[in-house]
Amino acid sequence: MPDVALLIDWENVYYTLRQHTTGPLPSTLAILQAILQKAAEFGPVRVKQAIFGSEIASQDDTLLMAPGQRADVLVQAGAAGSYALRAIANDQGYPSPVGPLARIVVEGEPLAMALPAALGKAPLATIGDEEITNTRRLTLSVDEPESPPSANYQEFTYLVCGRHFDPNRVDQRIPLGAVEEWTVVNEHEDDHIFHIHTNPFEMIAVNGEKLAERDWRDTVVVPRKGSVTFRSRFLDFTGRFVLHCHMMNHEELGMMQVVEVYKS
Ligand SMILES: [Cu+2]
């Protein structure tokens, strides 16, 4: 299985490629070559670290965080010293911001504290197949302006289910008490970030592949030309709220919908 991570170090910029596919190795190598070629345009490239196959789980120290996403991370301090926490480049279809986020200083007398062997349970019970009352399919897409896009940027339109946001239109009506499975399909060649207010959702699958470990979220990356599938309970709140792409420029250009939970 050609899982691969590559860290390229030129100046203080890191480029990370993480691929998790079941495709044959040559396709992975082709991607690596393409990225090395691209990186070489910025100057001499030195491969700092290349990790293949099962080693990736123990050596991978990166975490993909979408705008609006949060993560709890347990860290055990290593040797005394100063450590950089930095944003590294992420391939989301176009360049992402990079740079320092924080400096972590480890100092003082060591404490005897071990990391826990197992993590605690999720706060909500998992949603079983028998609980589902309805399914929905939403699409994310973008209408691009006429070429060149930079001269016609105001023509960009970001859509959910083929429609631009309208605050006066309810796009998803859900009866109170419903338990639903949604599949959000990203038809665009860039990643988008699905975010919904009020009720969290339990992640079930990415690109149709069931997850070994489900987790609860309100924000998730919907991979380009891919999909996410999740389940959600609508048990107490009635009224209107929104779902949207959490890249704010996309949301502002229309990638948002009104959701209404109603008493039936
Ligand atoms: Cu978006």
Distance 26 CA to ligand 1 centre (A): 31
Can you give the pLDDT at residue 36?
65
Can you give the pLDDT at residue 104?
84
Total residues belonging to the chain: 264
User: Residue 123, by phi and psi: left (phi above 0), alpha (psi -120 to 50) or beta?
Assistant: alpha
d(CA 206, CA 215): 12
Instruction: Write the DSSP string, 116-141.
Output: PSSPPPPSS----GGG--EEEEEEEE
Among the residue ranges 5-14, 144-153, 194-203, the one predicted with the least confidence is: 5-14
Can you give the pLDDT at residue 102?
84
**Please, which residues bridge with residue 257 across strands?**
243
Task: Please indicate whether residue 158 or residue 4 has the higher confidence score (pLDDT).
Answer: 158
Kindly state whether residues 134 and 244 are assigned to the same domain: yes
89 C-beta neighbours (distance < 10 Å), count = 16
| Average pLDDT of the segment spanning 219-240 | 97
Q: How many domains does the chain have?
A: 2
Distance 28 CA to ligand 1 centre (A): 26
- Give the E-state strand segments of the chain in sequence order: 4-10, 13-19, 46-52, 81-87, 99-106, 134-143, 157-160, 172-175, 179-186, 192-196, 201-206, 209-210, 216-217, 219-222, 227-233, 239-245, 256-262
Kindly report the average pLDDT of the chain as a whole number: 81
Residues near ion ligand 1 (CB < 5 Å) are 192, 245, 247, 250
Can you give the pLDDT at residue 165?
97
| Average pLDDT of the segment spanning 112-122 | 81
Kindly state whether residues 39 and 164 are assigned to the same domain: no
Q: Does residue 148 form part of some domain?
A: yes
Distance 69 CA to ligand 1 centre (A): 14
159 C-beta neighbours (distance < 10 Å), count = 21
Domain final residue, candidates 48, 69, 90: 69
Neighbouring C-alpha atoms within 13 Å toward the C-beta of 240: 8
Distance 192 CA to ligand 1 centre (A): 4
Q: Does residue 116 form part of some domain?
A: no
Task: Please indicate whether residue 119 or residue 130 has the higher confidence score (pLDDT).
Answer: 130
Q: Does residue 36 form part of some domain?
A: yes
Best CA proximity match to 202, nearest among 131, 117, 141: 131
Distance 249 CA to ligand 1 centre (A): 8
Phi, psi of 178, rounded to the nearest 5 degrees: -70, 150
| Average pLDDT of the segment spanning 24-28 | 47
| Average pLDDT of the segment spanning 83-103 | 81
Q: Does residue 101 form part of some domain?
A: no
Best CA proximity match to 95, nearest among 52, 21, 146, 41: 41
Domain final residue, candidates 49, 69, 89: 69
CB-based contacts of 13, cutoff 8 Å, min separation 6:
42, 89, 98
Alpha-carbon dihedral of residues 174, 197, 68, 63, nearest 10 degrees? Answer: -50
Best CA proximity match to 105, nearest among 76, 84, 74, 75: 84
Domain final residue, candidates 69, 85, 114: 69
Can you give the pLDDT at residue 9?
44
Q: Does residue 104 form part of some domain?
A: no
Distance 71 CA to ligand 1 centre (A): 20
* Res. 7: pLDDT tops 70: no
Kindly state whether residues 135 and 219 are assigned to the same domain: yes
Distance 76 CA to ligand 1 centre (A): 35
Range of the domain at 236: 129-262
